[in-house]
Amino acid sequence: MFLLRPLPILLATGGGYTGYRQYEKYRERELEKLGLEIPPKLAGHWEVALYKSVPTRLLSRAWGRLNQVELPHWLRRPVYSLYIWTFGVNMKEAAVEDLHHYRNLSEFFRRKLKPQARPVCGLHSVISPSDGKILNFGQVKNCEVEQVKGVTYSLESFLGPRTCTEDLPFSPATSCDSFKNQLVTREGNELYHCVIYLAPGDYHCFHSPTDWTVSHRRHFPGSLMSVNPGMARWIKELFCHNERVVLTGDWKHGFFSLTAVGATNVGSIRIYFDQDLHTNSPRYSKGSYNDFSFVTHTNKEGVPMRKGEHLGEFNLGSTIVLIFEAPKDFNFQLKAGQKIRFGEPLGSL
């Protein structure tokens, strides 16, 4: 009698699908070498649902606990050396180059840099808040924003619904265009965006990209899917699916926001001045969000941040999204796909 065995069927199906995806990636690379532009092939709803069914939040919490385990002194150099070799980490920039100094993986991931390693550009109004790769940037033309070329996410889904609370930079709107227009608080301004991907080998701290005041934090406890450029080309609205922390406020030209997007094994997003923030926590359910205001009776302004000031950190690597308003003559000093380092200019007037 023939019996169906679920495990072999699952392994065969998963292996076949993985092989197919690898072949597709190989074919795309070959076409890119020939200079041909490849239209993005988006994941179907069933593929996204299948991916989201993987317990990435639980796995990320387990990874976070593993990172906290203190390594024996003799094991630190070989473990960290393997990571350095795999991801191309430049330890000459680290404030402490001695690998034995880092008691666990978490300390190594969150290593600080030498003060002179990242000079902050003083000539441009907006600098890169982190090391990373520029995935996309430009003017927001409508309510759909590009995460990479040709693949978009909803501006309203990403930032969340507006609230009538006085200290939020949002007000009620009735349409998609109105949502974008409500973020532009000054006549003659436009809305701009920039997406920076932090790879595992990058410096994991992020800093204030300009002089601004943070008035509000919104935390979305979503999924923790990978946000590498390949996944960003494959899954539409990837950033809206994932856990993220949205900081909003104002700079000299109006609305300004910085969003830290979580990813697989990056459930831990830390904002230094926000002790009430707890990411990838079991007490939050997916699909919800929670708000916190930094404007109080004793603090009418919020949290002032200076350009280049330490703002927060990821546990491994992820994505930073800037969405802000500026005058129409704001120009980005960037190219899509370029590597950038914290302190280097993003754009200016």
The sign of the CA dihedral 296, 298, 303, 304 is: positive
CA dist 89 to 81, 82, 103, Å?
9, 10, 18
Are 346 and 209 spatial neighbours (Cβ–Cβ below 8 Å)? yes
Q: How far is CA 287 from the centre of its chain?
A: 18
| CB contact burial 118-135 (16+ within 10 A = b; e otherwise) | bebbeebbbbbbbbbbbb
What whole-number distance in Å separates Cα of residue 191 and Cα of residue 300? Answer: 26
DSSP sequence for 151-194: EEEEHHHHH------TTSS----SSHHHHHHHH--STTEEEEEE
Q: Is 318 assigned a catalytic role?
A: yes
- Which position among 131, 202, 250, 274 bears the catalytic label? 131
Q: Is 202 assigned a catalytic role?
A: no
Q: Name the helix (H) or strand (E) containing 333.
A: none
Helix, strand, coil % (nearest 5) of the chain?
30, 25, 45
164 exposure class (CB count in 10 Å sphere: 0-12, 13-18, 19+): exposed
Q: Is 207 assigned a catalytic role?
A: yes
- Which position among 207, 219, 241, 253 bears the catalytic label? 207
* Residues annotated as catalytic (active site), given as ranges: 131, 207, 318
